[in-house]
Amino acid sequence: MYKINPRQLRMRYFKEKCLRVLCVLSLLISLCFLITLIGSIAYKSIPALTTSYLTIDVSIPATLDASKDNGRNLLRNAIFQLFPDTKTRKKKKALYALLSFSNETQLNTIIRNNTEFIGRTIQFKALLSDNSTHFLRKLDNTNDVKKITTKLSTYQQSALSSLYEEGYISWHFNTVFFTNGDSREPENAGIIGAIIGSIYVLGITLLISLPVGVAAALYLEEFAARNRFTEIIEININNLAAVPSIVFGLLGLNLFINHFSLARSSSIVGGLILSLLTLPVIIIASRSAIKAIPVSIKHGALALGASPVQVALHHTFVLSLPGILTGSIIGMARALGESAPLLMIGMVAFIADIPRTITDSATVLPVQIFIWSDSPERSFEALSSLASLILVIFLIAMNAVAIYLRKKYEKKW
């Protein structure tokens, strides 16, 4: 009988232990990265969650002509009433600049929809400008007003501080962010335009690339003869999956906009380009899902007299559906995070309107993040962080759906 060398045995166990520790370490490192990433995005996005409002009494004279836009004058008068000592034009202008411009249209709409307010004094929550909000946020954290770096003048600072102390200003959840389209002013900028743009683009991508991709995969796996031609197709599909996405953007620019004259920056063009990008991913995922179906099932159906198309539709397709869906969702998640090819077709333009149709100019979440991170105003940093967080939440949700579908429809044989 052989005797095992005890030193060698100890060495073996030691090596095993080392390997295990290394594996756990690498897992921990990647976890750390993930936590740092999500944590820093979440931390930076906190300021974007709240915004400040000034509660002021707006007296609407009975002689008001409701068909005209009166918001500006009414608001100016309302804020000047709070500071009766302010006389010079410059100071008045500075005082009014504490408010956001969007209040004017807001007030106009309120008056137009509620004509009974005419001749009365109403309480109006006016959104403060980004600079004001920024200053107030700093004021909350410090005792020394002089240390705060702000674009506000000393007069504006003292006015705002006194308003804050007297309780005219309140903090609210930033609903504007979730109901508005993009804007040049951070306090009015919202994500909904980009979200709807993303939904349109992804919807078009899914509608085009899923049926085409699955049909192509089924054909290649089930019906196509194995010859040089199908081999070339196979290699090309694999190559397409590795093509940098910006190249697809150039292709789309040339093909869809220059050649087919589709609307620039529209969701339809974005969707078409992302379909091209997602198609190889879906084909490859679907093919491997189809390949995993045991031959015995197909033979069982064939032996019962099912035609090849019946076998493909009743068995192969149905059984590979969870795999196809998982692969497609992961492909779609990639498309959701894609920005480079969409820059090429002008989805990077400043678009304040929320798109209504697929031919309207639109932007998508990652491009919106790109636009905001490129803007000079400080508050856009928090906004782009919050948008990133929303994007990450969407991605996690999509992947969770993929895992759920795989677990639910997984079949055993």
Contacts of 135 (CB under 8 A, 6+ apart): 148, 150, 152, 157, 160
* Cβ-based neighbour number of residue 379 at 10 Å: 21
User: Nearer Cβ to other proteins, position 212 or 313?
Assistant: 313
Candidate list 314, 350, 353, 407; residue touching other proteins; CB under 8 A: 314
User: Which of 208, 321 has the CB closer to other proteins?
Assistant: 321
> What is the amino acid identity at position 216?
A
99 binds other proteins (CB under 8 A): no
The correct pick among 87, 167, 304, 408 for binding other proteins (CB under 8 A) is 304
Instruction: Establish if 408 lies at the interface with other proteins (CB under 8 A).
Output: no
Q: Angle 386-387-393 (CA atoms, 0-180°, nearest 5)?
A: 90
Smallest separation, CB 173 to other proteins (Å)? 49
The distance of closest approach from Cβ of residue 404 to other proteins in the complex, given in angstroms and rounded to an integer, is: 19
Token pair recorded at residue 268:
């339809």
CB of 232 to other proteins, least distance (A): 19
Residues 6+ away with beta carbon under 8 Å from 124: 55, 56, 57, 58, 75, 78, 103, 107, 110
Strand, helix or coil for residue 56: strand
Taking the CB of residue 352, how many other CB atoms lie within 10 A of it? 14
Q: Which residues contact 296 (CB under 8 A, 6 or more apart)?
A: 413
Residue in 212, 302, 343, 349 binding other proteins, rule: CB under 8 A = 302
From 137, 315, 334, 378, residue interacting with other proteins (rule: CB under 8 A): 315
User: Could you say which of 306, 321, 352, 389 contacts other proteins (CB under 8 A)?
Assistant: 306
User: Given the rule CB under 8 A, which of 243-251, 278-286, 309-317, 375-383 is the region that contacts other proteins?
Assistant: 309-317
Q: Cβ 231 to other proteins, closest distance in Å?
A: 14
Q: Amino acid identity of 45?
A: S
CB 58 within 8 Å of CB 107: yes
Instruction: Tell me whether residue 73 or residue 310 sits nearer to other proteins (CB atom).
Output: 310
In the complex with other proteins, the residue whose CB is nearer, 195 or 293, is 293
Q: How far is CA 335 from CA 86, 181, 226, in A?
A: 55, 22, 31
Q: Which of 1, 4, 242, 303 binds other proteins (CB under 8 A)?
A: 303
CB 182 within 8 A of CB 371: yes
The 181-220 site mask, x for binding other proteins (CB under 8 A), equals ----------------------------------------
Determine the Cα–Cα distance for residues 101 and 131; give it in Å rounded to an integer: 12
Q: Which residues partner with 124 through β-bridges?
A: 56
CA distances from 113 to 57, 106, 118, 126 (A): 18, 11, 11, 18
State which residue, 14 or 219, has the beta carbon closest to other proteins. 219
| Cross-strand partners of 65 | none
Beta bridge partners of residue 51, listed in sequence order: 172
Q: Which tokens belong to 296? A: 């015995």
- The nearest distance, CB 224 to other proteins, in angstroms, is 12
CB of 214 to other proteins, least distance (A): 19
Closest CA to 272 of 209, 210, 355, 364: 209
Q: How far is the CB of 236 from other proteins (least distance, A)?
A: 23
86, 95 contact by CB (below 8 A)? yes
Helical segments of 114-244, H only? 130-141, 154-165, 175-179, 192-218, 228-242
Binds other proteins (CB under 8 A): choice among 48, 126, 189, 301: 301
Q: Which residue lies nearer to other proteins by CB, 62 or 225?
A: 225
Question: Going residue by residue from 318 to 347, which x/- string records binding to other proteins, judged by CB under 8 A?
Answer: -x----------------------------
Per CB under 8 A, the list member of 307, 356, 374, 400 interacting with other proteins is 307
| x/- track of binding to other proteins for residues 217-246 (CB under 8 A) | --------xx--------------------
Among all chains, which residue has been given the structure tokens 């007030």? Answer: 107
Note whether 62 binds other proteins by CB under 8 A. Answer: no
Interface with other proteins (CB under 8 A), residue from 77, 158, 236, 310: 310
Cα Rg, the chain, nearest whole Å: 30
291 binds other proteins (CB under 8 A): no
Choose which of 299, 353, 357, 407 interacts with other proteins (CB under 8 A).
299
What are the residues binding other proteins (CB under 8 A)?
225-226, 294, 296-297, 299-307, 310, 314-315, 319, 411-413
